[in-house]
Amino acid sequence: MEQKKRVCIIEAGITGLAACKYLLEREFQPMVFEADRSIGGLWKSTPASTRLQTTRWDYQFSDFPWPEKVTEPSLDSKQVMEYLDSYAQRFGLNRHVRFGEKVEGIEYVGVGEEEMEAWHLWTRTGDAFGGGRRGVWHVIVRQDKDGAIERWIFSKFTESYLRKTIPIPKHSFFRGIAAGLLAVLPEHFYNKVEEGSIILKPSKTFEFRKNGVLTEGDVTTIKTDLVIYATGFKGDQKLGNIFISLWFQKVVAGTKDMIVPLYRECIHPQIPQMAIIAYSMSISNLYTSEIRARWLACFIDDGFKLPSKREMEKNIIEWDKYYKTYYGNSIHTWYNDQLCKDMRCNLRRKKIFFVDLFIPYGPTDYVGLELKK
């Protein structure tokens, strides 16, 4: 019997854990590199006062509900970490995580850039592992305990989890809200803005004064007790920096109108044997990341084939238009429908027809999702 392939996962956040779990279910050999000494991604380094901005019903794995003792709708970071720890223990994920090992860079070796550009299909053959081609991923890892550098060679480097970051918007905050780019806000946020206890001030430069801060273009100091730098991150640059190849850094960056072009929000048509499943955001990132992890596990287990690179690029442009036009949960339901179609699963997740028409979908609707093996 053929031995299942080894799969590299970078970081043990919610997406990395979900990817590890679904790959194990299909008998692959996941290896998770985690720079810190515990799982949890961003949650492990948040202040105690940080809370979920969605309800717990929208922030849970489809087959792992919150404990019965948890009754409040909005949970703090400690409760989220306890939940993630329980999830990892329940499915035996920790033994597949290499803690204290940070991925410094990745390099695709064995196939030239010109040859890759000429491929009609992703990985030349359209399947997850490139049909046994000579290309391999070299993963450069730094060990936290002694700073030693290791070079891991993955002939089948097929899944990469990268921490989601948000690029700095050039449009106003309120335009972002209207476009659905920022979906969830803390309770009473607008009330605080209206009463003046929260002041939103876009400014490229500023300077501190004795009693507050002076922003660009103003002559009056804003009296304030606290200043929060809502600068965001250059997400495409952070993603690109993991590649040693300048060519990969360039192609992953996308264009000024579209950042990181990904088919099904997972696969870059120009980057072989690799997926990025935690870059784009949604109302509930856990909910979205889990179904992407299921889709990816199904794909690399030969559950379906990808279309040609040209067809993938066309689909990316179409979905980019959808995301810019539509707002709210409906676009994510349509997106999940596409993943279910690829996996040959039933798109109608509710048992009653009229309920399916009028009630929004959530994580529990995808319990028992039958995947093609």
Q: What is the reported pLDDT for 204?
A: 77
Calculate the alpha carbon distances from 286 to 12, 16, 251 in Å. Answer: 13, 11, 27
Q: Is 148 helix (H, G, I), strand (E, B) or coil?
A: coil
Q: What is the pLDDT of residue 232?
A: 63
- pLDDT of amino acid 179: 40
The pLDDT of 328-342, averaged and rounded, is 78
Question: Residue 258 phi/psi, 5° resolution?
Answer: -145, 120
CB neighbours of 178 closer than 8 A, spacing ≥ 6? none
Pick from 276, 272, 359: nearest CA to 309: 272
Model pLDDT for residues 57-86, shown as the tens digit of each residue: 888 998 999 999 998 888 899 999 999 999
Q: What is the DSSP letter of 3?
A: P
Which superfamily does 6-167+233-366 belong to?
FAD/NAD(P)-binding domain (3.50.50.60)
Most confident of 198-202, 229-233, 263-267: 263-267
User: Which residue, among 276, 267, 199, has the nearest Cα to 230 in the 3D structure?
Assistant: 199
| 195-225 tens-digit pLDDT | 888 888 877 788 888 888 888 888 888 888 8
Structure tokens of 369? 């999702």
- Return the bridge partners of 31, or none: 8
Give the domain ranges of the chain.
Answer: 6-167+233-366, 173-223
Starting at the edge strand found earlier in the chain, the sheet holding 149-154 runs 101-109, 136-143, 149-154
Terminal C-alpha separation, the chain: 16
Other CB atoms within 10 Å distance of the CB of residue 345: 20
Give me the mean pLDDT over the 77-100 stretch: 95
Indicate the average pLDDT of the chain.
79
Q: CA-to-CA distance for 37 and 360, rounded, in angstroms?
A: 38
- Lookup result for tokens 């196939």: 111
Rounded distance, CA 335 to CA 12, Å? 25
* Residue range 153-192, pLDDT digits in tens: 654 443 333 333 233 344 444 444 334 444 456 667 778 8
Count of C-beta atoms within a 10 Å radius of residue 175? 11
CA diameter of the chain:
75
- Is 60 exceeded by the pLDDT of residue 128? yes
Q: Is the pLDDT of residue 13 over 70?
A: yes
pLDDT of residue 58: 83
